[in-house]
Chain A
Protein backbone atom coordinates (compact mmCIF):
# COMPACT_ATOMS: atom_id res chain seq x y z
CA UNK A 1 0.00 0.00 0.00
CA UNK A 2 0.95 3.61 -0.06
CA UNK A 3 3.27 4.75 2.68
CA UNK A 4 5.49 7.57 3.67
CA UNK A 5 8.63 6.58 5.51
CA UNK A 6 11.60 8.23 7.09
CA UNK A 7 15.23 7.11 6.92
CA UNK A 8 16.31 8.25 10.40
CA UNK A 9 14.13 7.79 13.46
CA UNK A 10 16.38 9.98 15.65
CA UNK A 11 18.71 12.77 14.66
CA UNK A 12 21.08 14.50 17.08
CA UNK A 13 22.52 17.80 15.97
CA UNK A 14 24.81 20.31 17.61
CA UNK A 15 23.26 23.67 18.28
CA UNK A 16 24.07 26.03 15.45
CA UNK A 17 24.60 23.29 12.89
CA UNK A 18 22.23 22.56 10.03
CA UNK A 19 19.77 19.68 10.26
CA UNK A 20 18.51 17.52 7.43
CA UNK A 21 15.50 15.28 7.93
CA UNK A 22 14.59 12.88 5.16
CA UNK A 23 11.41 11.26 3.97
CA UNK A 24 10.65 8.72 1.26
CA UNK A 25 7.24 8.44 -0.31
CA UNK A 26 5.89 5.65 -2.44
CA UNK A 27 3.12 7.18 -4.53
CA UNK A 28 4.54 8.90 -7.59
CA UNK A 29 1.12 10.46 -8.21
CA UNK A 30 1.24 12.46 -4.97
CA UNK A 31 1.48 16.14 -5.75
CA UNK A 32 1.45 17.89 -2.41
CA UNK A 33 3.61 17.43 0.67
CA UNK A 34 3.78 19.00 4.11
CA UNK A 35 6.28 19.01 6.93
CA UNK A 36 4.93 19.21 10.45
CA UNK A 37 6.69 19.74 13.77
CA UNK A 38 5.27 18.13 16.88
CA UNK A 39 6.43 19.10 20.34
CA UNK A 40 5.78 16.94 23.34
CA UNK A 41 2.16 17.04 24.43
CA UNK A 42 1.06 19.15 21.49
CA UNK A 43 -0.49 18.71 18.11
CA UNK A 44 1.44 18.85 14.83
CA UNK A 45 2.33 22.34 13.74
CA UNK A 46 2.66 23.27 10.07
CA UNK A 47 6.21 24.18 9.01
CA UNK A 48 6.31 24.28 5.23
CA UNK A 49 4.69 22.69 2.22
CA UNK A 50 5.61 22.04 -1.38
CA UNK A 51 3.76 21.09 -4.54
CA UNK A 52 5.09 18.68 -7.10
CA UNK A 53 5.64 21.39 -9.70
CA UNK A 54 8.45 22.70 -7.50
CA UNK A 55 11.68 21.09 -6.36
CA UNK A 56 12.60 23.56 -3.66
CA UNK A 57 10.83 25.93 -1.34
CA UNK A 58 12.29 28.13 1.36
CA UNK A 59 10.83 29.53 4.54
CA UNK A 60 12.36 31.15 7.55
CA UNK A 61 15.39 28.97 8.39
CA UNK A 62 13.75 25.99 6.71
CA UNK A 63 14.00 24.62 3.20
CA UNK A 64 12.09 21.72 1.70
CA UNK A 65 13.53 19.82 -1.23
CA UNK A 66 11.53 17.49 -3.42
CA UNK A 67 13.13 14.93 -5.71
CA UNK A 68 10.37 13.31 -7.70
CA UNK A 69 12.74 11.03 -9.58
CA UNK A 70 13.57 9.07 -6.45
CA UNK A 71 10.43 10.04 -4.53
CA UNK A 72 12.35 11.75 -1.77
CA UNK A 73 11.55 14.73 0.40
CA UNK A 74 13.85 16.49 2.82
CA UNK A 75 13.58 19.24 5.39
CA UNK A 76 16.61 21.37 6.05
CA UNK A 77 16.79 23.51 9.18
CA UNK A 78 19.52 26.13 9.22
CA UNK A 79 21.36 27.07 12.42
CA UNK A 80 19.45 24.57 14.54
CA UNK A 81 18.27 25.92 17.86
CA UNK A 82 17.19 24.19 21.09
CA UNK A 83 13.62 25.16 20.30
CA UNK A 84 13.80 23.02 17.17
CA UNK A 85 13.90 19.86 19.29
CA UNK A 86 10.74 17.97 18.39
CA UNK A 87 9.42 15.17 16.21
CA UNK A 88 9.12 16.03 12.55
CA UNK A 89 6.61 14.39 10.23
CA UNK A 90 6.23 14.51 6.51
CA UNK A 91 2.77 14.05 5.08
CA UNK A 92 1.80 13.10 1.57
CA UNK A 93 -1.54 13.93 0.03
CA UNK A 94 -2.87 10.64 -1.27
CA UNK A 95 -5.24 10.92 -4.19
CA UNK A 96 -6.24 7.26 -4.13
CA UNK A 97 -9.95 7.19 -3.53
CA UNK A 98 -10.86 10.16 -1.37
CA UNK A 99 -8.13 12.63 -0.70
CA UNK A 100 -6.35 12.18 2.59
CA UNK A 101 -2.94 12.67 4.12
CA UNK A 102 -0.59 9.83 4.87
CA UNK A 103 1.89 10.59 7.62
CA UNK A 104 5.30 9.07 8.12
CA UNK A 105 6.37 7.65 11.45
CA UNK A 106 8.41 10.74 12.31
CA UNK A 107 11.99 11.71 13.09
CA UNK A 108 12.96 12.95 16.52
CA UNK A 109 15.37 15.85 16.35
CA UNK A 110 17.55 16.38 19.41
CA UNK A 111 19.55 19.57 19.60
CA UNK A 112 22.71 19.28 21.67
CA UNK A 113 23.98 22.33 23.53
Chain B
Protein backbone atom coordinates (compact mmCIF):
# COMPACT_ATOMS: atom_id res chain seq x y z
CA UNK B 1 0.00 0.00 0.00
CA UNK B 2 1.67 3.18 -1.19
CA UNK B 3 -0.87 5.52 0.37
CA UNK B 4 -0.35 8.23 2.94
CA UNK B 5 0.71 6.62 6.19
CA UNK B 6 0.05 8.19 9.55
CA UNK B 7 1.13 6.94 12.94
CA UNK B 8 0.19 6.35 15.54
CA UNK B 9 -3.48 5.78 14.74
CA UNK B 10 -4.42 6.53 18.31
CA UNK B 11 -2.45 8.57 20.81
CA UNK B 12 -3.32 9.22 24.44
CA UNK B 13 -1.54 11.93 26.37
CA UNK B 14 -1.98 13.59 29.73
CA UNK B 15 -2.28 17.33 30.01
CA UNK B 16 1.10 18.98 29.79
CA UNK B 17 2.76 16.19 27.80
CA UNK B 18 3.98 16.40 24.24
CA UNK B 19 2.32 14.75 21.26
CA UNK B 20 4.18 13.84 18.08
CA UNK B 21 2.20 12.84 15.02
CA UNK B 22 3.92 11.41 11.98
CA UNK B 23 2.99 11.41 8.33
CA UNK B 24 4.71 9.67 5.45
CA UNK B 25 3.37 11.02 2.15
CA UNK B 26 2.68 8.95 -0.91
CA UNK B 27 5.76 8.02 -2.88
CA UNK B 28 6.78 10.87 -5.11
CA UNK B 29 4.76 13.47 -3.23
CA UNK B 30 6.70 16.39 -1.84
CA UNK B 31 3.78 18.49 -0.58
CA UNK B 32 2.21 17.74 2.79
CA UNK B 33 -0.80 19.26 4.51
CA UNK B 34 -2.08 18.85 8.04
CA UNK B 35 -5.72 19.20 9.01
CA UNK B 36 -7.58 18.97 12.27
CA UNK B 37 -11.08 17.53 12.61
CA UNK B 38 -13.39 17.68 15.58
CA UNK B 39 -16.25 15.14 15.84
CA UNK B 40 -19.10 15.86 13.45
CA UNK B 41 -17.17 18.73 11.86
CA UNK B 42 -15.21 19.37 8.70
CA UNK B 43 -11.48 19.51 8.25
CA UNK B 44 -9.69 22.68 9.25
CA UNK B 45 -6.45 23.51 7.49
CA UNK B 46 -3.46 23.83 9.77
CA UNK B 47 -0.23 23.91 7.79
CA UNK B 48 1.21 23.25 4.33
CA UNK B 49 4.80 22.10 3.95
CA UNK B 50 7.20 21.15 1.24
CA UNK B 51 10.46 19.38 1.90
CA UNK B 52 12.37 21.49 4.44
CA UNK B 53 10.00 24.45 4.02
CA UNK B 54 6.86 25.70 5.68
CA UNK B 55 4.75 27.25 2.95
CA UNK B 56 1.63 28.26 4.86
CA UNK B 57 1.04 27.90 8.59
CA UNK B 58 -1.87 30.28 8.81
CA UNK B 59 -4.15 27.64 10.33
CA UNK B 60 -1.84 26.60 13.09
CA UNK B 61 -2.03 28.05 16.61
CA UNK B 62 0.87 30.36 17.30
CA UNK B 63 1.86 28.61 20.50
CA UNK B 64 2.58 24.98 21.32
CA UNK B 65 2.12 23.73 17.74
CA UNK B 66 4.90 23.20 15.23
CA UNK B 67 5.39 21.19 12.06
CA UNK B 68 8.31 20.08 9.98
CA UNK B 69 8.97 18.07 6.86
CA UNK B 70 12.66 17.22 6.76
CA UNK B 71 14.63 16.23 3.70
CA UNK B 72 14.59 12.65 4.91
CA UNK B 73 11.84 11.02 6.91
CA UNK B 74 8.23 11.74 7.67
CA UNK B 75 6.51 15.03 8.35
CA UNK B 76 5.99 15.66 12.06
CA UNK B 77 3.23 17.64 13.74
CA UNK B 78 4.29 18.43 17.28
CA UNK B 79 2.03 19.67 20.03
CA UNK B 80 3.72 20.72 23.24
CA UNK B 81 2.05 20.95 26.66
CA UNK B 82 -1.17 19.45 25.38
CA UNK B 83 -4.52 20.58 26.75
CA UNK B 84 -7.93 18.91 26.62
CA UNK B 85 -8.94 21.12 23.72
CA UNK B 86 -6.26 19.52 21.56
CA UNK B 87 -8.28 16.29 21.48
CA UNK B 88 -9.22 15.75 17.85
CA UNK B 89 -8.41 13.73 14.77
CA UNK B 90 -5.41 15.02 12.86
CA UNK B 91 -5.20 14.20 9.19
CA UNK B 92 -2.30 14.46 6.83
CA UNK B 93 -2.65 14.76 3.07
CA UNK B 94 -0.08 14.81 0.30
CA UNK B 95 0.10 15.82 -3.33
CA UNK B 96 2.83 15.77 -5.97
CA UNK B 97 2.75 19.35 -7.25
CA UNK B 98 1.06 21.58 -4.71
CA UNK B 99 -2.29 23.29 -4.85
CA UNK B 100 -1.36 25.79 -7.49
CA UNK B 101 -2.19 23.15 -10.06
CA UNK B 102 -5.54 22.17 -8.63
CA UNK B 103 -5.50 18.45 -7.94
CA UNK B 104 -6.83 16.04 -5.34
CA UNK B 105 -4.98 15.61 -2.11
CA UNK B 106 -4.54 12.09 -0.85
CA UNK B 107 -5.33 11.58 2.81
CA UNK B 108 -4.09 9.25 5.47
CA UNK B 109 -6.44 7.66 8.00
CA UNK B 110 -5.51 10.13 10.69
CA UNK B 111 -4.25 10.12 14.26
CA UNK B 112 -6.88 10.30 16.96
CA UNK B 113 -5.41 12.29 19.83
CA UNK B 114 -7.04 12.00 23.23
CA UNK B 115 -5.97 14.15 26.15
CA UNK B 116 -6.69 12.88 29.63
Separation in Å of the A30 CB from the closest CB of chain B?
A: 10
Asked if B43 is at the interface (CB within 8 A of a chain A CB), the reply is: yes
| Known contacts A97-B58, A98-B55; A49 and B104 CB within 8 A of each other | yes
Given contacts A98-B48, A100-B48, contact A89 B102 (CB under 8 A): no
Contacts of A31 in B (CB 8 A): 102
- Shortest CB-to-CB span from B107 to chain A, Å, is 4
Q: How many A-B residue pairs have CB under 8 A?
A: 62
Contact of A43 among B55, B91, B99 (CB under 8 A): B91
Q: Which of B44, B99, B107 contacts A45 (CB 8 A)?
A: B107
Residues of chain A with a CB closer than 8 A to B45's CB: 100-103
Interface size on A, residues (CB 8 A): 24
- Write out the residue numbers on chain B whose beta carbons fall within 8 Å of the beta carbon of A89: 42-43
How many interface residues does B have (CB within 8 Å)? 29
Is A16 engaged at the interface, CB distance under 8 Å to the other chain?
Answer: no
A44 touches B91 (CB 8 A): yes
Contacts of B17-70 to chain A: CB distance below 8 A: 33, 35, 40-45, 48, 55-56, 58-59
Interface check B80, CB cutoff 8 A: no
Whether B99 and A101, one on each chain, are in contact in the complex, defined by CB atoms closer than 8 angstroms, is yes
- CB contacts (< 8 Å) of B91 on chain A: these are 43-44
Please name all residues of chain A whose beta carbon is closer than 8 Å to the beta carbon of B106 when the two chains form the complex. Answer: 46
- A46 — which chain B residues lie within 8 A by C-beta? 104-106
Q: List 15 A-B contacts (CB under 8 A).
A: A31-B102, A41-B109, A42-B110, A44-B107, A46-B105, A49-B104, A89-B43, A98-B56, A98-B99, A99-B99, A100-B33, A100-B99, A103-B43, A103-B45, A106-B41
Question: Measuring CB to CB, which residues of chain A are less than 8 angstroms from any residue of chain B?
Answer: 31-32, 34, 36, 41-46, 49, 51, 89, 93, 97-106
